[in-house]
Amino acid sequence: MRGYSIFLPVRNGWPYVQECVESILAQSYPHFELTILDNQSTDGTVDYLRSLRDQRIRLVSSSESLSIVASWARIKTQPKLEYMTLIGHDDLFDAHFLATIDALIEAHPQATLFQTGSRLINAEGATIRSCKPVPHRETAAQYLAARFRLEREVFGTGHVMRSSDYDELGGIPGFERLFYADDALWLSLAGRGYKASDDREAFSVRIHPKSESASLPSAWPSMLLGLNQFLEFLRGFTQRDPESRAVAEQLQAGFVLNRHQNAYLYALIDACRNRRRIEPSVLARIEASLAREAPGMAGRLSQSPRVRLLELANKTPLRTQIPWLWDIYYQLQTRAG
């Protein structure tokens, strides 16, 4: 029987961490272990974890406060069973997650990455919507093409891999605040074989105001730096994978423009939240990054209607209304369906 190591890095995850851990311990597949990597939590997280009396759980505490990158980097030094998966402290596994994955591995012994269907949930745990479907079999080049077309929703939760592959690759890349790090990891793993998927939903990704998935506007500098690091990774990866190189030559520039426009949108919203016009240096930084990463797209940041609208609003007293409108938009996006 295959063994699975589940890794849960957490810092101040209360109260979501309790629901997360309970969803793991409720797995119908019995042969797994849970390693919880606490990062000096100061809320109720550690008290709850220490109260658990389950031999499948191992709690590892950090001796100092770590960044999210350093906290997740600890995974590669931990002992592991044959297969492994990662989960955010606010996400959930369905009870059949590991059983579904185990059947998938049985059906696809040559695959190097495994995934199930998923859903987005809100802060209260209600379903927002199902995530976009993925093919039952997908190469690295196919994944990259879908990602460039914005047809994939990328989360650190819900993917399973061989522990030996994870360790040989050096773990999840240490990109800024882990933005785009899961993209790079999934590409590296799929590049060793292919990704096999079961479209039945078996895990939930929670979207709430403090989650990384919420991508708060103030995170735009980290998003931009993480994107730059991902594109540097792609330069090396596509040189080793001719099919992925062909995909990048055709589609990467449009993706790079879209991601820079997204960072610019967030920078504009962040400026409006601070009741000021956007600093020229901020615009120059984003434009310089776009010109460097996709020279053919230089000067096209404002071609998006959403960007133009926010640019105009930011130049007027209407900027004070943008944060209020953003909050309304966020509430609509996370409303249960």
Bridge partner residues of 4 (DSSP): 32, 83
CA 307 to chain centre: 24
Chain segment 258-277, per-residue pLDDT in tens:
999 999 999 999 999 999 99
Average pLDDT value for the chain: 94
List 8's β-bridge partners, or say none. Answer: 36
pLDDT bucket at 322, cuts 50 / 70 / 90: confident
Q: Given pLDDT bands bounded at 50, 70 and 90, which one contains residue 337?
A: low
Residues 138-167: pLDDT tens digits? 999 999 999 999 999 988 899 999 999 999
Percentage of the chain modeled with pLDDT above 90: 87
Strand partners, 206: 121
Residue 332 CB contacts under 8 Å (≥ 6 apart), including other chains: none
Which pLDDT score, from 0 to 100, does residue 334 have? 66
Residues in the chain: 337
The pLDDT score that the predictor gives to residue 109 is 97
- Would you state the pLDDT for residue 299? 94
Nearest to 33 by CA among 4, 11, 60, 10: 4
Query: Mean pLDDT over residues 84-93, rounded?
Result: 97
Q: Which two tokens stand for residue 240?
A: 């080793």
Indicate the pLDDT class of residue 212, thresholds 50, 70 and 90: low
| Contacts (Cβ under 8 Å, ≥6 apart) of 59 | 36, 38, 49, 50
DSSP letter, residue 112: S
For residues 311 and 268, the answer to whether their CB atoms sit within 8 Å is: yes
Q: What is the pTM of this model?
A: 0.94
Helices (H), the chain: 16-25, 45-51, 68-73, 97-107, 140-148, 163-168, 181-190, 220-240, 242-273, 280-293, 305-314, 322-333
CB-based contacts of 207: which residues, under 8 Å, 6+ apart? 120, 121, 122, 123, 128, 213, 214, 333, 334
Give the pair of three-digit tokens for residue 83: 């297969």
Taking every pair of Cα atoms in the chain, the longest distance, rounded to a whole number of angstroms, is 64
Domains of the chain: 4-214 (3.90.550.10), 217-333 (no CATH)
Specify the pLDDT at position 197: 98
Tell me how far apart the alpha carbons of residues 333 and 310 are, in angstroms, rounded to a whole number: 19
